[in-house]
């Protein structure tokens, strides 16, 4: 598809999601108390959007991923929270 | 339109979903064994669940003329308890000859623990000994990338396993390439919040090709949409894909993989 056609199909949807992200960050700013590691991870992942090539989705996913390679001793619970407490992976 | 739903947890869905799927063009549904949303208290709970998957649920689907197939295992969310896992795996062989069983699944990892990995290796061995197809669940969110790598390593370590007989499900943009590069099939799951949306699924199809890819809704008791596959087919049309290309992805591809087990037939 042409860039023009893709804009016609998806611009309004992406615009709405972009404003939702801005409003989410504003809401968190207005909140009280400390934020956990997820906020930092989110901000780092946002930087992936500035890439000049079409690997942004992969870049965001990698930056939120556990970069370690060894299985862990015991499950801390069953769920996942969406971000890794350490530094995620920068994909090249 | 015609399509296959290759991954749907129908025991958690209402009967109206069967009707809606058939009206949308669904020609067969496949149900991997998974977590009930709570831990079952013992192997008897799994025995009952395997009876439900191989006896009761196919009858419920048949009321709508929909062929129902299934996959059996203890899911990774309950495989931290290795004693329970061993007892449940011992139950599986007696069900493998039932007419709607396609293979072992959805096995895999959840939090990437040592016990989960051991149980995964035991499932791989079970599948190899009984010459079964394998359907693999990859972990959620931050655990997916690491878990996918561990799963691929475990599969490759067992030389009896042919990658073309294994589907690695719930791939995303950071895991699809490694799965396809190693010769495995890749499943793309369409969810409202996590996993992928229809536009992203189509992006992956366009970027990585659709040779060894299927789409599924993985509908279950959580937020999910049993019509996610036909809705994505509609989105593919908006993206300019031909009816033949769409049919290939949502109908012919799952048939190509699943009919490696001769029990899988669609009319
Ligand atoms: Zn599932």
Task: Give per-residue pLDDT as tens, B227-260.
Answer: 999 999 999 999 999 999 999 999 999 999 999 9
Do A29 and A39 have their domain in common? no
DSSP H or E stretch at residue B57:
helix B57-62
Q: A87 lies in a domain?
A: no
Number of domains in chain A: 2
- Name the one residue in this structure whose structure tokens are 């719930």: B170
Do A24 and A47 have their domain in common? no
Do A1 and A13 have their domain in common? yes
Q: A10 lies in a domain?
A: yes
Q: In the structure, what pLDDT confidence band is assigned to residue B74 with cuts at 50, 70 and 90?
A: very high
Do A26 and A2 have their domain in common? yes
Do A5 and A29 have their domain in common? yes
Q: In the structure, what pLDDT confidence band is assigned to residue B267 with cuts at 50, 70 and 90?
A: confident
- Does any CB of chain B come closer than 8 Å to the CB of residue A56? no
Q: Which domain holds residue A50?
A: 35-64
Structure confidence at residue B87 (pLDDT): 98
Distance from CA of A30 to the nearest CA of B (A): 25
Chain B residues near residue A74 by CB distance under 8 angstroms:
80, 113, 115
- Does any CB of chain B come closer than 8 Å to the CB of residue A25? no
The predicted complex's ipTM stands at 0.95
Q: Between chains, do A71 and B199 touch, taking CB under 8 Å as contact?
A: no
Do A26 and A11 have their domain in common? yes
- Structure token digits, residue B40: 């079952």
- Name the one residue in this structure whose structure tokens are 């109206």: B16
CATH numbers and ranges of domains, chain B: 3-258 (3.20.20.140)
Contact A82, A38 (CB under 8 A): yes
- Structure token digits, residue B150: 């561990």
Model-level pTM greater than 0.90?
yes
Do A20 and A48 have their domain in common? no
Q: Which of A78, A87, A89 to mutate to test the interface with B (most CBs of B within 10 A)?
A: A78
Task: Give per-residue pLDDT as tens, A34-60.
Answer: 999 999 999 999 999 999 999 999 999
Do A29 and A49 have their domain in common? no
Do A16 and A41 have their domain in common? no
Q: A76 lies in a domain?
A: no
């Amino acid at each position: 598809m042409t860039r023009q056609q893709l804009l016609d199909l998806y611009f309004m949807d992406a615009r709405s999601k972009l404003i939702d992200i801005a409003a989410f960050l504003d809401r968190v700013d207005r909140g009280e108390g400390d934020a956990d590691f997820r906020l930092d991870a989110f901000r780092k992942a946002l930087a992936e959007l500035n890439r000049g090539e079409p690997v942004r989705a992969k870049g965001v996913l990698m930056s939120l991923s556990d970069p370690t390679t060894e299985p862990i001793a015991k499950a801390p619970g069953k769920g996942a929270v969406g971000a890794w407490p350490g530094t995620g992976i920068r994909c090249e | 339109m015609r399509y296959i739903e290759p991954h749907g947890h129908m025991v958690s869905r209402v009967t109206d979903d069967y009707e809606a799927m058939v009206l949308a063009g669904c020609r067969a549904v496949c149900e991997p064994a998974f977590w009930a949303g709570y831990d079952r208290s013992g192997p008897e709970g799994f025995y009952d669940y395997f009876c439900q998957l191989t006896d009761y649920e196919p009858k419920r689907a048949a009321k709508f003329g929909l062929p129902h197939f299934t996959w059996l295992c203890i899911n990774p969310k309950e495989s931290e308890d290795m004693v329970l896992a061993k007892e449940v795996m011992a139950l599986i062989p007696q069900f493998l000859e039932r007419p709607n069983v396609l293979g072992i699944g959805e096995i895999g990892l959840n939090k990437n623990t040592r016990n989960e990995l051991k149980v995964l290796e035991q499932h791989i061995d079970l599948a190899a000994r009984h010459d079964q197809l394998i359907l693999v669940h990859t972990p959620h969110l931050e655990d997916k990338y690491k878990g996918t790598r561990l799963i691929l390593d475990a599969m490759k370590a067992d030389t009896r396993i042919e990658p073309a007989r294994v589907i690695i499900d719930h791939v995303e943009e950071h895991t699809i390439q490694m799965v396809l590069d190693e010769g495995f099939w890749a499943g793309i799951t369409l969810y409202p919040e996590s996993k992928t949306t229809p536009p992203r699924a189509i992006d992956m199809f366009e970027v990585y090709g659709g040779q060894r890819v299927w789409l599924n809704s993985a509908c279950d008791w959580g937020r999910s949409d049993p019509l996610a596959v036909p809705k994505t087919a509609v989105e593919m049309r908006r993206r300019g894909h031909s009816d033949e290309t769409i049919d290939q992805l949502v109908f012919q591809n799952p048939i190509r993989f699943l009919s490696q087990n001769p029990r899988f037939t669609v009319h």
